[in-house]
Amino acid sequence: MPGLQPRRRFLGALATLPAFAAPAKPSPIASVEFTRYTGRRQWEEGVDRQPIANPIHIYGEHRPRPYRDSPAPSTREGAISSLYLTIKTTDGLEGFYGPIDSECVPVIERQLKQFLLGKDALAVETLWDQMYRFNRHARVGHLMMGISAIDNTLWDLRGRYFKAPVYRLLGGPTRARIDAYGSCLGFSIEPSLAAMKAAELRRQGYRHQKWFLAYGPGDGREGLMKNVELALALRQAVGETTDLMFDAFMSWNLDYALEWCKRVEPMRPRWLEEAFLPDRLEAFIALRKQTSVPIATGEHFYNRWEAQKFLAAGAISVCQADPEWCGGVSELVKICHLGSLYDAQVIPHGHSIHAALHVVAAQSPATCPLVENLITKMRWYYWFEKDWPEVRDGQIELHDRPGFGILIDEAKIEKKEIVKL
């Protein structure tokens, strides 16, 4: 029959194509263990130790004295250690992630480890859901931090299995370089010194900078005006084309935040972050309705349901869920989808960079335009890593190593030990 000829030619051509060999199914999880790396590092003593506002500072005995950088800082040397999590299968495949918060160790060692042994390491979604349901307290806090550490490690394992970076497994990349904002925790907030540092960072390529406010209601109107003066000094230092963001670290009340916003609106902040504790939803709603300053929070959201409440209520413009705390890569991706639904941006808090970077890289820049780089923290946080996600000219370039591509610098390790409780 004439109609069969094209079909036969197609089948013949198909037969000549190379067969696709799917990777063999991995063996079950055989071990879950923490490794502590210890070494030594140097730092400058007497500078970059500016405290930030804290909710407990309403009590005078807990309020720090005004900070000043030392005019003659000294060089010190001391020990440094970091925890990393490894999950291995019986056939030797492994996932590796860190640094890990120490609070995760008892959660994983005493509760989640035995549950994971023997499970399919590639069943990331199933394991997340089962860990979330495994313990009635797993929705928040240290248990969710433990789930986050495991989820991120399993995503690294998955990347190594498929021989691809995590951002590719998530559907990316949407761009080759990710814009990073400079988070200025620790830098002096004396207006003249802050202005000099902000101008210096702008020359380094930081077109987006976040500064931390040191004063709250316990410091009275004098403290309020110092917070306002900082914003003015920074805007004058960097001009109109640099984004300035401000973090109040949950330390304010609604009236205080409204007055600060009213006074700094002419400086056009990109956002005010964490004006209130995260359980004060109504205060966030009221603040956003009464100011033109965009409102951000979310680093202390522990799951998508917490994020959804704020987004649905129109309480925030920017959601800052952190994959080290909110449930890992798996949960942050869901929060990004929620953000796009409500036309809000998801800019993860930068407690670490690895997981956040890969999620952001796979999302639309409209939803996830930036990652956070805590400038002073990252000087030591990745001490034992080489080729970590370093910011150059305000951006982080993506690598193509499998998983998160974490590489340990053996030359910096003086001691390596398995952590057991």
Write out pLDDT tens, residues 94-121: 999 999 999 999 999 999 999 999 999 9
Mean per-residue pLDDT for 71-100?
A: 97
- pLDDT of 138 reads 87
pLDDT surpasses 80 at 10:
no
- pLDDT of 23 reads 56
pLDDT surpasses 70 at 3:
no
- pLDDT of 18 reads 46
- 26 pLDDT band, cuts 50/70/90, is low
- pLDDT of 145 reads 98
Residue 65: beta bridge partners? none
CA distance linking residue 257 with residue 283, whole number of Å: 10
- pLDDT of 163 reads 97
Averaged pLDDT score across all residues of the chain: 94
- 375 pLDDT band, cuts 50/70/90, is very high
By mean pLDDT, which of 29-38, 134-143, 334-343 is the weakest?
Answer: 134-143
- 420 pLDDT band, cuts 50/70/90, is confident
Residues of the chain with pLDDT > 90: what percent? Answer: 92
Cα 272–chain centre separation = 18
Mean per-residue pLDDT for 388-405?
A: 97
Q: Give tens-digit pLDDT for 258-272.
A: 999 999 999 999 999
Distance in angstroms between the alpha carbons of the first and the last residue of the chain: 75
- pLDDT of 421 reads 81
The answer to whether the predicted template modeling score (pTM) of the entire model surpasses 0.95 is no
Q: What is the 3-state secondary structure (H, E, C) of the chain?
A: CCCHHHHHHHHHHHHHCCCCCCCCCCCCEEEEEEEEEEEEEEEEECCCCCCCCCHHHHCHHHCCCCCCCCCCCEEEEEEEEEEEEEEEECCCCEEEECCCCCCHHHHHHHHHHHHHCCCCCCCHHHHHHHHHHHCCCCCCHHHHHHHHHHHHHHHHHHHHHHCCEHHHHCCCCCCCEEEEEEECCCCCCCHHHHHHHHHHHHHCCCCEEEEECCCCHHHHHHHHHHHHHHHHHHHHHHCCCCEEEEECCCCCCHHHHHHHHHHHHHHCCCEEECCCCCCCHHHHHHHHHHCCCCEEECCCCCCHHHHHHHHHCCCCCEECCCCCCCCHHHHHHHHHHHHHHCCCEECCCCCCCHHHHHHHHCCCCCCCCCEEEEHHHHHHHCCCEECCCCCECCEEECCCCCECCCEECHHHCCEEEEECC
pLDDT surpasses 60 at 158:
yes
- 7 pLDDT band, cuts 50/70/90, is low
Mean per-residue pLDDT for 35-61?
A: 96
Mean per-residue pLDDT for 346-362?
A: 98
Domains of the chain: 29-164 (3.30.390.10), 167-404 (3.20.20.120)
Mean per-residue pLDDT for 240-255?
A: 98
- pLDDT of 12 reads 54
- Cα–Cα distances in Å, from 244 out to 261, 264, 265, 277? 13, 11, 12, 22
Q: Which residue in this structure is represented by tokens 């990252």?
A: 378
